[in-house]
Amino acid sequence: MVIAQSDEDLRQAISSTSWYHTLELAPRCNDARLVRYNVVVPAMLSFPTTLAGRRCLDIATFDGFWAFEMERRGATEVIAIDVPHPAQWDWPINSPPAVFEEVSRRRPGLGFEIAHRTLQSEVQRLELSVYDLDPARVGTFDFVYLGSLLLHLRDPVRALEKVRSVCRGDLMVVDAVDLALSMLSPRRPVAELDGRGRPWWWKPNLAGLKRLVEAANFTTTDGPRLLWMPPGPDQVRGALSSGASHGGWPPGRPLHLEGGPPRSPAGAIGGLT
C-alpha cells in the first residue's frame, strides 16, 4: 500500500479508504466514517484520563481510534490486535455471499496503517484473534479496552476468558446491549440470539453483559451503564437491507452492514479487575 507523503496524498489515501472510526488526521479529511467517537465518546465514557506508566491493549482495534487514544493519554506501551480480514470473523453458516462482500469492503488494517503513519504512532498492531490471546505471546496488561466486539462473537465467554488471561489490571468493556430487554429485565441476565446471515450473535441486556464478563472471572467495580453511540454519515450511506428480521433498535431501520454496533445502545462496564 502507498503511504501518503504530502497533504494531497494523505487526502487521497483517506478518501479512498472505507473508515470505521473518526480520526483527526488532517483538516476536513476522514468525513466518511461510521462512529463519531472523537466528538463525544471519550467524554461520555469513564475512559482513564491518564494511562501514564500503564501497558495497554486495544482488542479489535479496526482503524485504531482507542489505541491511539491510549497512546495520547500517556500509555507506556500500546498493543492493538485485530484479525487480518473479515473472513476471520464469526460468520453464521447461512451468510449470503453478497453480505460477506459488502462487509469485506471495510477491511480492518487499511485505515489503521494510514493513521499510524500520519500520527507517527508507536502503537504496535498484531494480527491476532481475541480467541488466541495468550500471555506467553503478548504478555499481560494494566489496562485493556474491549469495544464493540462481543456482539460479533459466537462464543463471547471464551473470548473473555482469553482476555482475562492477559489482564493484570483493569478491563473496560463497551458493547451493544438490547434496550428493551434491559428495561423489561433489569436484574435477570438475558440475551437475544441473532446469527441470521451476518456476524451478529448475542445481544444481552445490561445485566447479561455484566454476567458475561463475570463468567470469565472478572469482578465488576464500576457500571454497567447505558450510553448512546452516535452514528456517522456512512451508516446511512452504507446501509443494506437484508430482509432479515434483526430485532435491532431503533425498530424499522434498515440493517447496517458496517460491522459495528452504533445503531444500538451500548452498555459500558468500566473498571473490571
Ligand X SMILES: C[S@@+](CC[C@H](N)C(=O)[O-])C[C@H]1O[C@@H](n2cnc3c(N)ncnc32)[C@H](O)[C@@H]1O
- Count of residues that bind ligand X according to CB under 6 A: 19
> What gap in Å lies between CA 79 and CA 123, rounded to an integer?
6
> What gap in Å lies between CA 267 and CA 225, rounded to an integer?
6
Three-state DSSP state, 79: strand
**Closer of 128 and 181 to ligand X (Cβ):** 128
- Site for ligand X contains 248 (CB under 6 A): no
Among residues 25, 57, 130, 257, which is the contact residue for ligand X, using CB under 6 A? 130
- Site for ligand X contains 148 (CB under 6 A): yes
- Site for ligand X contains 131 (CB under 6 A): yes
- Site for ligand X contains 125 (CB under 6 A): no
Q: Backbone phi, then psi, for 151, in 5-degree steps? A: -55, -30
Burial class (CB in 10 A: 0-12, 13-18, 19+), 184: exposed
Question: What number of other Cβ atoms are within 10 A of residue 104's Cβ?
Answer: 14
- Site for ligand X contains 152 (CB under 6 A): yes
Q: With contact defined as beta carbons under 8 Å apart, do 148 and 266 qualify? A: yes
> What gap in Å lies between CA 15 and CA 4, rounded to an integer?
12
Q: Provide the minimum distance between the beta carbon of 23 and ligand X in the complex, in angstroms, as a whole number.
A: 11
Q: With contact defined as beta carbons under 8 Å apart, do 145 and 170 qualify? A: no
**Closer of 108 and 197 to ligand X (Cβ):** 108
Three-state DSSP state, 235: helix
Half-sphere exposure of 104 (CA within 13 A, CB side): 14
- Site for ligand X contains 147 (CB under 6 A): yes
Query: Could you say which residues in the range 187-246 bind ligand X, by CB under 6 A?
Result: none
Find, among 44, 52, 94, 55, the residue nearest to 72 by Cα.
52
- Site for ligand X contains 89 (CB under 6 A): yes
**Closer of 55 and 152 to ligand X (Cβ):** 152
**Closer of 48 and 261 to ligand X (Cβ):** 261
The residue of the chain with the least Cβ separation from ligand X equals 147
Among residues 75, 115, 149, 209, which is the contact residue for ligand X, using CB under 6 A? 149
Which residue shows C-alpha cell 460479533?
152
* The one-letter amino acid at 143: F
Query: Could you say which residues in the range 33-62 bind ligand X, by CB under 6 A?
Result: 60, 62
Binding segment toward ligand X, per CB under 6 A, in 77-85, 92-100, 161-169, 207-215: 77-85
- Site for ligand X contains 102 (CB under 6 A): no
Question: What number of other Cβ atoms are within 10 A of residue 90's Cβ?
Answer: 16
Among residues 82, 170, 192, 194, which is the contact residue for ligand X, using CB under 6 A? 82
Instruction: Give the footprint of ligand X on this chain (CB under 6 A).
Output: 60, 62, 65-66, 81-83, 89, 108, 129-131, 147-149, 152, 259-261
